[in-house]
Structure 1
Amino acid sequence: MTLQTIAFEKREQLKQKPNSDQLGFGKYFTDHMFLMDYDEQKDWHNPRIVPYQSISVDPSAMIFHYGQTVFEGLKAYRTEDDQILLFRPENNMKRLNQSSKRMSIPEIDEEEVLHYLQQLIAIEQDWVPSAEGTSLYIRPVVIATDPNLSVEPSKTYTFMIILSPVGSYYPQGIKPVSIRVEQQYTRAVKGGTGTAKTAANYSGAYKAQEKATEQGLSQVLWLDGIEKKYIEEVGSMNVFFKIDGEVITPELNGSILEGITRKSTIELLNHWGIPVKEQKISMAELHAYYHNGKLEEAFGTGTAAVISPIGELIWENEKLVINEGQIGEVAKKLYDTITGIQTGKVKDRYGWTVEAASKTMNTSPSL
Structure 2
Amino acid sequence: MANVLVAMSGGVDSSMAAALLVEQGHDVTGVHLKMADTPSGIPGKGCCTLDDARDARRVADLLGIPYYVWDFADAFHERVVDDFVAEYAAGRTPNPCIRCNERVKYTALMARARAAGFDRLATGHHVRLSTDDDGTVRLLRPVDEGKDQTYVLYMASQDQLRHSAFPVGGMPKSELREMAAERGLVTASKPDSTDICFIPSGNTAAFLGARIGRRPGRLVDHDGTELGEHDGAFAFTVGQRRGLGLSGMPEPRFVTAIEGDTVTVGRRQDLEVAALTATDVSWTVAPPTPGEEGLTVRVRYHGDRLPVAVEVAGDVMDVAFTGVRPSGVAPGQAVVVYRGEECVGGGTIAATVR
Fold-level match, TM-score > 0.5? no
For normalisation by structure 1, the TM-score amounts to 0.25
Q: Which has the higher contact order (CA 8 A, sep 6+)?
A: 1
For normalisation by structure 2, the TM-score amounts to 0.26
